[in-house]
Structure 1
Amino acid sequence: MVLTKEQLSELICKHSERENGLQDLLEILLESMMVSERREYLRENSASGNKCNGFRPGHSYGHGRTLTFRIPRDRYGNFHPRILAILRHQEDECERLAGTLYTKGLTQEQVGEVFQDIYGEHYSKASISRMLDYLREDVSQWLTRSLEAYYPIVFIDCVHMKIHRKRSVETEAFYVGTVVKRIKLHNELIANVI
């Protein structure tokens, strides 16, 4: 059955009015584009004997929700859809922006408002929280990293003193350095001060 553009447009409009209809359409559109791209890729490389080899699961963010779709594969594993690279780049960019705003002190709700101003779509606290998961993982890894038993520490400070010079009084900074040869972690402090 071949549909005209008008018939296809009418079907799409009816489907988009359903609950989560727009999300379904985005997933269908992405899958269709990737399947078409794979067909063209295999046609161009037909001499190699490469063929279709099913699908693998994939996901991305879209309109504040997670889009779930199937990514087509080829037998030799050489096919990589271009549309995925664009989505991945956009997703990474969103996560970096959300992380930067969050570390600057904005709340998840404020980050969502900034995203609404930039992308014209409201992102819920849950969506922003999902974007910040990678940041939480980095912090968790940093907090659980292995530490050395001892660390050298240098404290540097300065003392401002009044100095008389050629009929004037000037304030000059004298730097004081304290070297702690060793400091042991875990609430035990053993230090040799020079």
Structure 2
Amino acid sequence: KIISMYARGMSTREITGHLRELYGIEVSADLISTVTDAVIDEVTTWQNRPLEAVYPLVFLDAIRVKIRDEGLVRNKAIHVAIGVRADGAKEVLGLWIEQNEGARFWLRVLNELKNRGVEDILLAVVDGLKG
């Protein structure tokens, strides 16, 4: 529940108050920070994991979500790369938060995927790019 509230943009103090109100338990802001920091470490490990060498199909797109940023909840673009493996299974290759979506950004993403082990993408599907 803590991670869910944190992901929705609630501050550690708001989460503490919410848990007290809902469940009648006292949880310190430090404990909330410890839990969220542990998850951030896991996300970083996942974001940097090795990938397969070949993806026949990769979708590159963005969705807009509310994110807590410097204590404020703001609308941000989450860019996602979804690869389809040779066996047909889909795999989220990575997530990136970036203000603008464009050719330079996606080139940087593709270079990152290459650095993580991707050698070939047979077809990349990207909307909104020229050419």
TM-score (norm 2): 0.39
Higher strand proportion (structure 1 or 2): 2
Superposition TM-score, scaled by structure 1 size:
0.28
Q: Which has the higher helix share?
A: 1
* Larger RCO of the pair (alpha carbons < 8 Å, separation 6+): 2
